Amino acid sequence: MDRRNFIRTTGALGALTIPGVGMDLFSPAKKGKTELPRYRGFNLLAKFSGRGPGRQFEEEDFEIMAGWGFDFARIPMSYWNWASKDDWYAIDEDVIKDIDKAVELGKQYKVHINLNMHRIPGYCINGRDLEPCDLFDDTPENMQKALGGAVHHWKFFAERYRGIPNEQLSFDLINEPPHMKDETRYIEIVSALVHGIREKDPDRMIIADGKDVGRTPVFGITDLVAGQSTRGYDPMSLSHYTASWVPQSAFQTFNIPDWPLTGDDGKIWDKSVLKEMLIEPWMKLTGMGVFVHVGEWGCYNKTPHKVTLAWMKDLLSLWKEAGWGHALWNLKGDFGLLNSNREDVKYENFKGHLLDRKMLELILEF
């Protein structure tokens, strides 16, 4: 693939202010829509956090996923791996070469790659206050600065991977946008990012996370993106039991979870509630020609394994009925199938890793 030089510019968003410019770029015929298979797979976390080059993507992960029959890898990325919050426009292409490797491994193993900005200039669901400007809630000048940086990064990836078929590669713009009463700012952000991508790669398939940390569909962007990404973490008292990074207000109860789960307010969470809260609000999108995919889901390793599997079975059956694909967080680690460190699982040795065979078989069943 060509290595193109990028020139720092402060006019990245200039075209957006010119009446009429870009409207053709947003037409449904040119926004990278494709008939999406029911992709199922995992999040791979090599570029998820940290500063500097970060961890490297491993071919073994792709070999394992493909061998089990999975065909999707979401790649949540922090721009801190290849750039600095002190200079959003200086990109270290040596770090990007490892992302190139992931794209190539996806092609080799027939695993669709979905590149996602987990930390984008101006915003991250984790450590949002560490950014010099806030993309969603700041002075108009600072929000514009952050948007300019965000557009620059997506234009970089769009140009770098231009021409790679949508069957192999898609973009997911921003991980888990914040809670918001008015989606106007999010629509502005998505419009600018899509416009920037379209300048470099008119046909790229683009996905946007729902608002409210991925929980709520956004109908104001249906003519801009091919799909929207939702989450499979509710109820949080079950999926994140004892997780220290979750605010206490997100939990329904602090009791040891069971399934169905009863919150401290007496509300019973069961399969019917999952359908009402996690499926039905999104179905209108599919009727509008926008596909839905569950970009993240899973259960932290402190929840009893039997409870975890019962909850997973209900979610998986609902997603299969709706025709949605999904990506577990993660393949290896506390939410994953391998090396999850659960105390109540009889693991199987698999290629030098500890495999949760029951969880694997359950996911494959659906």
Question: What's the N-to-C CA distance of the chain in angstroms?
Answer: 37
Mean pLDDT of 305-320: 98
Domains of the chain, start order: 28-232+272-305+312-332 (3.20.20.80)
pLDDT score of 13:
36
The least confident of 141-150, 281-290, 313-322, 338-347 is: 281-290
Contact between 228 and 285 under an 8 Å Cβ cutoff? The reply is yes
pLDDT of 244 strictly over 70: yes
Q: Give me the residue label for tokens 């006019």.
A: 11
pLDDT score of 282:
97
Contact between 60 and 339 under an 8 Å Cβ cutoff? The reply is no
Which residues contact residue 138 at a Cβ distance below 8 angstroms, ignoring those fewer than 6 apart?
122, 146
Tokens, residue 71: 């065909």
268: how many CB neighbours lie within 10 A of its CB? 10
Q: What is the largest CA-CA distance in the chain?
A: 62
**Which tens digits make up the pLDDT trace of 87-141?**
999 999 999 999 999 999 999 999 999 999 999 999 999 999 999 999 999 999 9
pLDDT score of 53:
62
pLDDT of 311 strictly over 60: yes
pLDDT score of 21:
29
pLDDT band at 37 (very low <50, low <70, confident <90, very high): confident
Q: Beta 112-120 vs 261-262: how paired, if at all?
A: unpaired
Contact between 301 and 351 under an 8 Å Cβ cutoff? The reply is no
pLDDT of 262 strictly over 90: yes
Buried b or exposed e, range 211-220, using 16+ CB within 10 angstroms = bbbbbbbbee
**Which tens digits make up the pLDDT trace of 208-230?**
999 999 999 999 999 999 999 99
pTM of the model: 0.91
